[in-house]
Each structure stands twice: as C-alpha cells, then as structure tokens.
A and B are shown apart, each in its own frame.
Chain A
Amino acid sequence: MNDQHAAAPGDFAEVEMRGIVRRFPGVLANDRVDLRVETGEIHAVMGENGAGKSTLMSILYGLQRPDAGRILLRGAEHSFGSPVQAIAAGLGMVHQGFKLFPSLTVTENVVYGDEPTRRGLVDRAAARARVAELVETHGLRVPPDARVADLPVGVQQRVEILKLLYRDARVLILDEPTAVLTPAEADRLLEVIRGLARSGRTVLLVTHKLGEVMAVADRVTVLRDGRVTARLATAETTPAEIALAMTGRRIDLDRTHPAGVPAADVLEVRGLTVSAGRGAKPLVEDVSLTVRAGEIVGVAGVAGNGQSELVEALAGLRPATEGRVLVAGRDVSGASVQRRRAAGLAYVPEDRATVGAARDASLADNLAMGFHRTAPLVTRGGFLRRSAIREHATRVIERFGVKAASPAVTIGTLSGGNQQKAILGREITHDAPLLLVEQPTRGVDIGSIENIHARLVEYRDAGHGVLLVSAELSEILALADRVLVMYEGRVVAELPRAEADPHRIGLAMAGGTIEATVDPDPGPDSDPAPTTAHLA
C-alpha cells in the first residue's frame, strides 16, 4: 500500500530485530523473536497480555536490554542503553500512560528538553511557529497555546505524536493507542496514522484490537508466549486467523449472548448527584437508572465522564450529595459499604490491584473477604477458621478456573486475568441480587475475556441484575441488554439492545445528540471548556 515510499537505501528494513531473547525469572518473555518492518509501513504487533509484545517494544526503545539478539535500523546495528539514545536514532514511542506536563502548554510540552533559544532564553515565537507548522503539515488539529490539562485525551495523544515529530522520529511506536479514545477519536487517530505512513514514516502499532489492525495496518506480527506465531499481510488474512495465531485456538469473536428476561428491580437510583466541591461541576449529576433482575445494564462512556464516581457512590465508597439508592428494595442512600452489601450488592472494582484485592495477601485471604464476618469462615467466638477459609478458596478457584499453584500464593503474583477471575469469582459467590462490575476485562487476555463474559451472562440468567461499566464498546455491545451512555456526569442516552449500535453510542459518548432518545440539556452552567470543541 505504501510501496512507493519504501525506498530504503540498499535493501535494508527500517527496523529489524533478530533473534531477540529476554528472560525474566521463570519466564521467557521473548524467545528468539524476529521482527522486520519496512520503511513507510504500518506494522501491527499483536498478542495477548503476557505474549511479550511490550517487552519486545521496550527492548527496541532502549528501556530494557535483550539477553541476546540484534537490532538494526536501516541496516546499521544499534544497542540502546536508554530511550534517549533510541530517540536520537530516530525512534519515538507514545506510551499507554501519557508522559506530559499538564500545567505546560502544548508548545512547551513539545519542545521540552530541546528548546529553541535566542540570547539564552527560550524563543517562544520560534517554538510556537515550529509546532504550528507540524500541526499544519500532519493535520493533527492541536491548539499550540492550550494548556495540556485542558485538552481531552484524544488531543493529548496527538501532542505526544507531535513530540515525536518535533524530534524527527522516523519510526513511531504506538502502544495500545486507542485504549483511551472514543470511537470517533479512534477513527481520527487511525487517519493520522495513515497520514504519517504516507509521509514516509514507519508506524509500529502495538494492540490487541483486531478491528483497527484490519483497518489500518499493512502487515502483522503475532506473538504468543514470547514467540512469533504468525507474520501476515492484512490484505491476505482474516481477523479469525490472527485471533487463532494469538490464542492458539478458535475464538468466536462476534459472539453476542442471547437477551435476558428482566424481572423485578434490584437497583433503583433516583436523582443521584456527586458533588466535586463548591462551585465545580458535579462529577455525577442527577442520574436515575434501574437495573432489573435478569438483565445486564451497560454503562458506556469515555473514561472520566463520571462512570467511576457513579459506581463508587453506588458501592458506598464515595458520598453522594443528593439522590436515593435502593438495592433490592431497601433504601441504602448514605449507608455504609457493609450495609449495602448486606442489602444485596456485590462489586467488582475497576482497579484490581488496590481496591479489588489486597495485593500482598494470599489468594485464600482475598477470596475470604466479605465472607469473613459470618460462619462458616468464623467461629462463634469471632475467630477466623483457617481450614474453612482454605476450603472456601479451593471451591472458588475450582469453580472459576483460577490458575494458581495453591490458595496460599500472594494474589499479586497472579496474571491480570487470573486475578480478575478470582475477584469476579469471589463477588459472584456472594450470590447478591445486584452485581456492580467495572472494566471487568481491562488488561485481561482474550481467552479470559471469553470466560469472564460467559460468567456474567450465566449470573444474569440465574436471575441476578448486573450493572456493567466498561470503556470497551465491544464489551457493552456483546453483553448489555440495555445501554446507558454517560457524558460529563450525566446519562445522556439510554438505548435498548436493538437500538444500540456503535455509531449511536459513539455519538453520545462524544456529547453529541441522538434524535429523540436524548435530552442533552447543556444547561447554563455547563463547562464551556474546549472539551467538545476539540472533539468536533
């Protein structure tokens, strides 16, 4: 697709990694990996979590040293001791967590560390002109004078790309770039990536999303368990073939689960508001919703639009300023976490490491949490019964297929997918009428995703209600019987399963209007910050 630009001197690849080996204690993260990327190509590196793709990129970018193997850029061998050397050689990387200075302007962020100067001082005019020129040539649409903190995530990401272009990176490594974007922003990013390739730059896209790989990449290298399992040209392959190479088995990617049969309300929320402090726009504003037994209600939205705060308020971790919450018919507004759980609520939080689990405690102790006040895990005198805790853990581990050497291992040593299975298992075992689930498959490999989704559907079919918050639209679409969309703290759309399509949800996520179903009501006091302006 970009052959006319692939004129590397001689016949050298832009990037070539040969026989890369990287060992960690007990794990072979990269096992003789070869990667060849041509100039001007968009090359996807795919694999499940733990497949070794991040390790491979860290080695290429100088963050880690390989135990064996060679790195060649346009035929010249390099050995990077730090990213600074990699940058000097023409590489650039956009990390998953951005590395920006929120209080500085776009221009200051871009030129940081390499400022143009005039008479010893930073030449702001020259810096701004250079940034504006880059914005113009690459169609990045970033305001050079805005403070980075005021910009939406999608624009911040383009600032990261600007930084690389300013340093004249020939090869751009993007690590899971669409994970934090709305569908519309993701589309825009893919357009930017195509533009970069057209201008002769090479893009390495690290991702697990098959859709965007098929849409934008020229070729794919697939890793599994530290080894390359496939090298494919996207024009000649199918998503199913890539998924097979990633997982080693057939996976039904487009599986949607049959709809549930809703019954009585298990959660009723009326006019819930969570204040952000005096004068500030509320984090959650006048949210009303119901979840019935036998249905999964999905909450979609770009991260940071109040979903987390809503769930925290429902779980009792964050005080609500106004509104009523009924769990299984009992009013728990203002009640403690313990009372809410007693009323019939279970909760799988987004942050496994710090909220969902006690990282340094054993798997067995983690699985006992929430069961630790009552028999059979406690004696009548109030002492814990270790044997009962172990049995309880063994049961959950078996039932939910948690892979662990023993119940005594520290939960923090398990893989993300196994931690999540353990936490989900614990909460499902509570058998509560209502399950709050936040980002259940974030950082979880494809195989476990399938398993977790099946568990949630099974739970629903057993007559429980589920409130599912997810930034993955595909997850919402696959599971939810009803979809709510949150934008700036409000529920701006409610769509039944039949009407929930990516386009409509995506529009609502970006603050757009969906005819008739929504009443966006910006209100006189809504924030006129550039959020929407830059999305448009």
Chain B
Amino acid sequence: MSFDAELIFSALRALTPILFAALGGALCERAGVFNVSLEGTMLIGCFAAVTGSWFGGSVWIGVISAVLAAMVFSLLLAIGAVTLGADAVVLCIALNLLAVGLTGFLLRTVFGKQGTFGDPDLQGLRPVDIPGLESVPFVGRALSGHSPLVYLSWVAVVVIAVLLSRHPWGVRLRGVGEAPEAAQSLGVSVARYRYAAILTSGALCGLAGAQLALGNVTLFSENMTAGRGWIAVVAVMLGRALPVGVLLAGILFGLVEAIGFRLQGEGMPQQAADAAPYVMTLVALFLATRSRGRRGGAPPGRLTGRIPRPRRIARTTTESPS
C-alpha cells in the first residue's frame, strides 16, 4: 500500500461526516449536555438529504432538508433534556433507536424500497475544483475536487473555534456548561444556551448526513451511518471538546477508514477493514483515559465519563439556607 494523494483525498472525505457531527457534539459538551444522539441525528440527515434531493430535484434542497430534519429531530432532545429535565444519555439512546426504525419505515413507505434506495437520477453533491490549487502536485489531488460540504466543514472548525474562544456567545456557552448556577446568577439563561447548542448540533449532524448520503455516496441505505456518530462522540472526548482537537481526532479516524478501505482493495478481508475504525476507537479511548489522570487543560464536564465522588459534591452544597 502506498501513502499517496488519493489516500489523503479519501481520508478527508471520510473525515467530513465525523467532523460535522463531532463539532456538534463538542458544542453540546461545552454547554453541559452529553449528546450521544449524533448517530441517530446523522441518520435522519442522510434520509432527509436523499428525500429532499429526489423530490426537490436539486441537491441543495436535499442539503437544506437534511439540516432542517436533523434540527427538528434534535429538538426532541432539547425539549426532553433541557425543558423536561430527562437524563440526556437515556434520551439519546432512545433517539438513536428511533432514527433507525423511523428511516427504515419511511424508506419503505416513501420509496417502496427495502434496505437501499439509489437511482441514477438522484442528484449528488458535485466535486468543486479549487482554481490554482488543483494544479499543485500531490496537494492539489489531495485537497481539490471535494464536495462543497467538505470545505464547509473546515470553515465550520474555524468559525466554531473563534466563537467559543472569542465571541460573547461562545464564552457564555462554556460558562453554562461549566457552572450553570453561576451563569444563571449573572442573568444568562442556561436553557436558552443549551437549546441553541443542541439545535446547532442538529444542524451540523444534518450536514454530516447530507455529506454521507449525497457526497461520499449517492444513495440511502438503512443504518448507513454505521457507527460514525459514535466515532464522533469519541472524537469529542479525544479532542476534549475543542474544535481543533476534534478535527485532529477526526483526521485520525478518517485516515484509518481510508487505509482500511485501501487494504481491502489489496486483499484484506472486508470484515477486518470494516472493523478498523472501531478498533482504532478502542485504542484511542484506552490511551486517552490513561493520559487523563492529572488535571490538565481539559475542559470540565463528563468527558472522562468518570463519576465524581458524591461526597465532594455534597461538601460544597451542604450549606442549607437558614
């Protein structure tokens, strides 16, 4: 196997859905909502993208449908977890199951198909050649000729990074996630910021789904996200909910997927290639938890999945009003 421009190209393509979803997950994490419904929301995005593109006759209608549908879907999480105070993780698992069932059901009722819907007339995202860049050797072939959503995802990394570090909205969002009571006491509405984070995450998962169903391939098949949303959750953890960290973690997973695909072409059993990203996830999680022992610059929250000792919590809140 050679390490060439095509490999980078396919790694970047594989990265995009994971990156979009992980950026959404990072925003939620920063707002104090542990969102593991990325998988299901992305799947809703895939289905809506194909449906919109097919009936609207334009790929952009597909993309917009994906964003809107995924936002509506994540509204369920926002209402349940923020307004009604349900446990976000439990709710997210239910949403993931709902997404699989719902898209499978709609595939049958809307398209009359089982398993997969694809058609030569279904509009997919066209590659964009970047003038000037495309003629540069190696770099051109790796970076140019992607779907527009790939480039949009890179822009999203920068925008979200600036938003979180420099914009009042982002700074407040971080505060909401870290110390909701403190934010509330200063007149910042925790609920409103969490709604915003969850809905933005929904929109980003919609874009992830659109890229997957109209960019990487041009079809919808049941459960086609195949764990990418879960890998995005891991990317959020590995990247410590920082946009650039999430990007680096995503690149790792994109590369593994591309390499696996390449090896499959060279005779490796398909099952082994398919398993590669998940093995990588396990390894990454293991390494991440091992290096997470000391308190570094990690943002607070439930990133490590470690349950705080109840006693410590109680100590800071035992003072009862007299």
Interface residues of A (CB under 8 A from B): 47-55, 58, 82-84, 87, 95-97, 99-104, 108, 112-115, 117, 120-122, 124, 163, 176, 277-280, 308, 350-355, 416, 442-443
Contacts and interface: CB of A to CB of B under 8 A. Distances in A.
A103 B187 contact: no
Interface stretch (B12-20, B40-48, B178-186, B272-280): B178-186
A113 B166 contact: no
Majority secondary structure of chain B interface residues (helix, strand, loop or mixed): helix
B311 A355 contact: yes
B175 interface: yes
Contacts of A113: 172, 175, 183, 186-188
How many of chain B's residues touch chain A, expressed as a range? 20 to 34
B171 A416 contact: no
A99 B300 contact: no
Nearest to B315: A351
A122 B167 contact: yes
A122 B322 CA distance: 39
Given A83-B185, A112-B186, A351 B311 contact: yes
A277 B293 contact: yes
A51 B322 CA distance: 7
A283 B322 CA distance: 32
20 contacts: A47-B322, A58-B321, A84-B186, A101-B175, A101-B183, A102-B178, A104-B174, A112-B171, A112-B175, A112-B188, A113-B175, A115-B168, A277-B293, A277-B294, A351-B318, A353-B314, A355-B311, A416-B320, A443-B318, A443-B319
B322 A49 contact: yes
B161 to A, nearest CB: 12
Nearest to A317: B311
Contacts of A48: 322
A97 B319 contact: yes
Contacts of B171: 104, 108, 112, 115, 122
A85 B188 CA distance: 12
B120 interface: no
Majority secondary structure of chain A interface residues (helix, strand, loop or mixed): loop
Contacts of A49: 322
B315 A101 contact: no
A351 B166 CA distance: 40
Given A58-B321, A354-B311, A117 B175 contact: no
Contacts of A124: 166
B86 interface: no
Nearest to A115: B168
Nearest to B309: A318
A156 to B, nearest CB: 12
Given A54-B321, A99-B181, 9 more contacts: A82-B187, A83-B185, A83-B187, A100-B179, A102-B179, A103-B174, A277-B294, A351-B311, A355-B314
B316 interface: yes
A365 B171 CA distance: 48
Interface in B187-242: 187-188
Interface in B82-108: none
A353 B310 CA distance: 11
B182 A101 contact: yes
Nearest to A55: B321
Contact of A103 (B172, B178, B294): B178
Contacts of B178: 101-104
Contacts of B118: none
Contacts of A95: 185
A279 B291 CA distance: 12
A96 B319 contact: yes
Q: Kindly list the 4 A-B residue pairs having the minimum CB-CB distance in the complex, ordered from nearest.
A: A99-B182, A113-B186, A84-B187, A54-B321
A279 B293 contact: yes
Contacts of A83: 185, 187
A467 to B, nearest CB: 19
Nearest to A117: B168
B179 A99 contact: yes
A352 B171 CA distance: 37
